[in-house]
Structure 1
Amino acid sequence: MKNFLTLLFLFNLNLAGYAQNASAVDKEKLFDFYQTQRYADAAQYLKSIYGEEVNDFKTLSQIGYCFLMAGNNVEAEKFYSKAYTLQPQNLPILFSLGSINNKRGNTEKAKKYNGEIVQIDRNNFNVYKLLANLYPLPTDSMKLVYLLKANQINPLEGDVAADLAEVHAAYQQYEKAYDVLDIAIKGDSDNLVLQRAKLPITNQLKKYAEVISSGEKLLKDGADAGVIKDVAKAYYYTKKYQKAIDLFKLLGVAAMQNEATLYYTSLSYRALKNYPQAALYTKKTIDEAISPNTSNYY
């Protein structure tokens, strides 16, 4: 009984100390730090009030947030980690620790914290998106798993749709990639990023009329090299060779041509029976294909 009363006394003393510290905070001064985005000053001020050994969850979270906003990830992780030991299933803390470790290149730790979020909330779109981004290679199976889950929760979100389509395309699953982008574009018809991402996939599916229709609209927004190439290829495959040549030449003017575009230009001239130009572009194709370092290899 005596030991219990001693522990109770110490606990109440600790609460009293925290209450005194809390009452010592100048709220107007702290608010001014927030208003002027002086988060480093706010963090140091709170530390001067509560000290280094603070064990209150709310205070730890507040100081951690200030350091995070100030860009001091080392100090932010220190305070958030203490808060994590007090409430290991707190979603804002887990998100913050995941973000901090991702910024610091600690990918495995970022996966750990985000993975814990999944265990708590299996329908959290943001965490699946974050986890997918922790796998840089489009052929990584876990990237596909997380993108599929995120897209299932919100099929209209553009970033996830574009990333998922890229993964499907890497596996040559062009129909799946097309469908993912098609749904997202229907939800955001003015999203030019999604429309550009869809063009090469549409070309792979030989939907050339759609490539031309969509691509010509995109070209009015700007001469994007990728769009020019895709539309030009669609014109070539629909036997509109002069239009293909005109677009491929735009790449040449901008010094953005490559072996493939030069080759298609050569084929277009040959289809038009303009053999001198076909020969010229065949030579350009060969020159482009030969590395300038070839002599060094020998």
Structure 2
Amino acid sequence: MLCCNAVFSQTANLVDKEKLFDFYQTQRYADAANYLRTVYGEDITDARTLSQIGYCYLMSGNNVDAEKFYLKAYSVQPHSLPILFSLASINSRRGNIDKAKLYYGEIVKIDSNNFSVYKSLANLFASNKDSLKLVYLVKANKLNPLEGDVANDLADVYAGLQEREKAYKVLNVAIAADTGNIILKKALLPIANFLKKYNEVIASGEKILSVDNDAYVIKDVAKAYYFTKNYTKAISLFKLLEVMGLQNEATLYYT
């Protein structure tokens, strides 16, 4: 073993770090992978080097060779979280969802409080109606309630389940941590409207419209004005939707 380590150390010293850095800087990842393979040869047993080559292939879009090298690294270090995450990501990209779930499952066994793994698992389920998607989003949100993407996805699932109070709370916690997040504020508007928080919708929606003339925001704010009996403002906004060619039967009802 000492002999093998000594040989590997000598080989590692042959790597031209400046050349490798240049490949990275210019995003020539395929060249970087090929260069590393010429230096280390084909009989690589060091997990770090195997992962490095796998990463280069992954960044170059070569998922086949990326998986090949990460699997070799996995055989050396089966409990390495970075290796497991990479294998899960590769399989997810290639549509091998069941394999991705297996690798993420291995991560959960090693680190049951890993926010990223629950977020990634939730993203494997396309339908908001899948109960496991809700389970993973709830776990991820519990570990990091301030993360906007998970909060947005969880609120969307809650809204679909008619649990809008929960959706409202989840979004507000995330918005409090990131007051400039327009995506979260937009997501909150229809939920707040449903909960009859019309003044809140108007105040927040008007601020959004000052920087983004989003049709959905216009519709939400128009509804809030309508329900607060400010019909003049409501009609003007609905007419704006008409000009934009986005008025439908639902909005015509209010005009």
Bucket of the pairwise TM-score, normalised by the shorter protein: over 0.9
Q: Single out whichever of 14-23 and 250-259 deviates more from structure 2.
A: 14-23
Q: Single out whichever of 108-117 and 156-165 deviates more from structure 2.
A: 108-117
Match of 2:144 in 1: 154
For structure 1, the 5+ residue unaligned runs are 1-10, 266-298
For structure 2, the 5+ residue unaligned runs are none
- Relative contact order higher in (CA < 8 Å, ≥ 6 apart): 2
Q: CA offsets, 1:261-288, max 9 Å, x none?
A: 11221xxxxxxxxxxxxxxxxxxxxxxx
TM-score, normalised on structure 1? 0.81
Residues 235 and 26 of structure 1: CA distance in aligned 2, closer, same or farther (over 3 Å): closer
Residues 205 and 64 of structure 1: CA distance in aligned 2, closer, same or farther (over 3 Å): same
Q: Single out whichever of 99-108 and 167-176 deviates more from structure 2.
A: 99-108
| Aligned AA (1:60) | L
| Aligned AA (1:164) | L
SS in structure 1 opposite 2:211?
coil
| Aligned AA (2:227) | Y
Q: Single out whichever of 116-125 and 47-56 deviates more from structure 2.
A: 47-56
Q: What is the CA-CA distance between 1:189 and the residue it aligns to? A: 1.6
Residues 187 and 73 of structure 1: CA distance in aligned 2, closer, same or farther (over 3 Å): same
Match of 2:19 in 1: 29
Residue 122 (1) aligns with residue 112 (2) = yes
Residues 47 and 231 of structure 1: CA distance in aligned 2, closer, same or farther (over 3 Å): same
1:101 to 91, 115, 136: 91
Q: What is the CA-CA distance between 1:159 and the residue it aligns to? A: 0.9
Residues 16 and 207 of structure 1: CA distance in aligned 2, closer, same or farther (over 3 Å): closer
- Structure with max Cα Rg: 1
1:210 & 1:44 partners in 2: Cα distance? 57
Q: CA offsets, 1:219-274, max 9 Å, x none?
A: 11222111111111112222222221111000000001112111221xxxxxxxxx
Match of 1:238 in 2: 228
2:71 to 71, 81, 90: 81
- Over aligned residue pairs, what C-alpha RMSD do you find? 1.7
TM-score, normalised on structure 2? 0.94
1:109 & 1:148 partners in 2: Cα distance? 23
Q: What is the CA-CA distance between 1:164 and the residue it aligns to? A: 0.6
SS in structure 2 opposite 1:24?
coil
Residues 33 and 218 of structure 1: CA distance in aligned 2, closer, same or farther (over 3 Å): closer
